[in-house]
Structures are given as C-alpha cells and as structure tokens.
C-alpha cells in the first residue's frame, strides 16, 4: 500500500486571493532565496496529516465531510510569521487570528493529524540554495520580514480541501477532494 502526504486546507474566493497576491509581491523577498507560492496553490492549512495510508485517508474524508457543514468563518489575517521559527525559517506565512469558528474547524481537522498545527497561509518557501547557502546572507532578509507589518484584513474561505503534497522538484499541491463550505 502506498501512502500519500496529505493536508487539509481552506481555499479562498477571488477577492481574498487577490489580496494575498498583493501582500506576497510587496514582501521583501529576493527571488533567488524565496520561491513564491502560486496563485492556485494559496490556502490556509488547517491540519497536516503527513504520510497517509488509504484507511486513514478514508477517516480524514469523513471528518472533512462534517467540517463542510460548519458555518463559513471569516478569517482575520494579522501578522507575518516565519516558520518553524524566526531563527531558522523555511517558510514565510501569514498568521490568522484564532477565532472561535477557526478554532472549531481546526480542532475537527486535527482529529487525524500527526501533530498539533498552527493554521497559516504560506506565501513563500526558502529555496534549497538559500537553505544550503551561507546563513549570514539570509539574516538581513529575515530581519526585514520579522519586522514587516501588515494592516489586518479578512479572508473569505470557499472550500475545505484535502490536498496531496507532491514533490517533483518544486512541491505542488494536488486537490484530492473539494467540499464547498456552507
């Protein structure tokens, strides 16, 4: 049996995606060090499941079916985050305010998750050459991102989606199942 790298995410309406793209392009991200996430792959990750066998995938899909019946939350973006940490980041993300609606969705999505997970919107990943290169070269960019302020704004989810993360050179996200939110 083959396993797939799976995660659950919320995808957004066109207005939200346009706002994310504006912020993504305004961030001080040298393109030789950071790879931007493509427009069609922008999402808020709710839960990371990691390597998943078919039986577990079936349970995850059952859980996501119940999530789609929840009221669609309005999400409030309030910060730029470097994950997993500011001192050794791999991704540039937007932090989302932990509202009751988001917390409820996150807890449901986490039922089958590998570890606790902070919901976030990934905007860019460090390139492999930046990760392997000299760390001092990255420091000014990390400092600039650490102090970068954004005006809080809202995102409007349209779907909850189970994605497979596929690595063939660059990582791509392939939708497995898409549920419209009510």
Rounded mean pLDDT, 101-114: 78
Helix, strand, coil percent values for the chain (each to nearest 5): 35, 40, 30
Q: How would you class 121 by CB atoms within 10 Å of its CB: exposed for 0-12, middle for 13-18, buried for 19 or more?
A: buried
35-57 per-position pLDDT tens digit = 999 999 999 998 889 899 999 99
Instruction: Give the model's confidence band at 16: pLDDT under 50 very low, under 70 low, under 90 confident, else very high.
Output: very high
d(CA 43, CA 9): 6
Task: Give the predicted TM-score (pTM) of the model.
Answer: 0.87
Query: Which CATH code is given to the segment(s) 4-180?
Result: 3.90.1140.10
Could you tell me what percent of the chain has a pLDDT over 70? 95
Closest-CA residue to 110 (of 59, 158, 49): 49
Pairing of strands 157-168, 44-52: unpaired
d(CA 45, CA 53): 20
Task: Please report, for the chain, the start and end positions of each structural domain, with discontinuous segments joined by +.
Answer: 4-180
């Amino acid at each position: 049996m083959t396993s797939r790298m799976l995660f659950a995410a919320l995808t957004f309406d066109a207005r939200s995606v346009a706002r994310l793209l504006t912020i993504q392009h305004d961030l001080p991200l040298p393109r030789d060090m950071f790879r931007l996430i493509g427009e069609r792959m922008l999402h808020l990750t709710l839960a990371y499941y990691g390597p998943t066998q078919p039986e577990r995938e079936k349970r995850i899909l059952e859980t996501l079916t119940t999530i789609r019946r929840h009221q669609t939350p309005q999400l409030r973006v309030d910060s730029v985050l470097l994950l997993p940490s500011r001192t050794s980041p791999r991704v540039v993300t937007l932090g989302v305010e932990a509202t009751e609606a988001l917390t409820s969705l996150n807890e449901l999505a986490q039922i089958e998750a590998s570890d606790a997970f902070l919901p976030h919107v990934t905007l860019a990943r460090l390139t492999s050459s930046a990760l392997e290169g000299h760390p001092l070269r990255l420091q000014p960019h990390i400092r600039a991102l650490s102090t970068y302020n954004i005006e809080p704004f809202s995102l409007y989810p349209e779907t909850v989606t189970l994605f497979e993360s596929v690595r063939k050179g660059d990582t791509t996200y392939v939708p497995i199942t898409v549920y419209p939110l009510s």
